[in-house]
């Protein structure tokens, strides 16, 4: 679901930037896609540790 949203955002930004300057727009889209993939990979890898951390914080507050 999140990946589909990111792909839709990337596609929309590609159409927007394509109208202005083709080469620069493609570079920006590639950069956005790479950043999105890094964020998704980090979330996938660190997800359980983050959940454990917030679980401990929640337990400490109660």
Helix axes 22-61, 2-20, angle to 10 degrees: 150
Whole-structure pTM value? 0.49
- Per-residue pLDDT tens over the stretch 42-52: 989 998 998 99
Calculate the alpha carbon distances from 57 to 35, 45, 48, 51, 52 in Å.
29, 20, 14, 10, 9
pLDDT at residue 24, rounded to an integer: 75
Give the model's confidence band at 54: pLDDT under 50 very low, under 70 low, under 90 confident, else very high: very high
**Spatial CA neighbour of 29 closest among 2, 3, 53, 6:** 6
């Amino acid at each position: 679901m999140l990946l589909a949203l990111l792909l839709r955002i990337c596609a929309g930004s590609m159409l927007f930037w394509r109208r202005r300057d083709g080469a620069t727009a493609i570079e920006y889209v590639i950069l956005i896609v790479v950043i999105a993939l890094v964020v998704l990979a980090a979330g996938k890898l660190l997800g359980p540790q983050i959940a454990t951390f917030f679980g401990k914080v929640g337990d400490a507050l109660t």
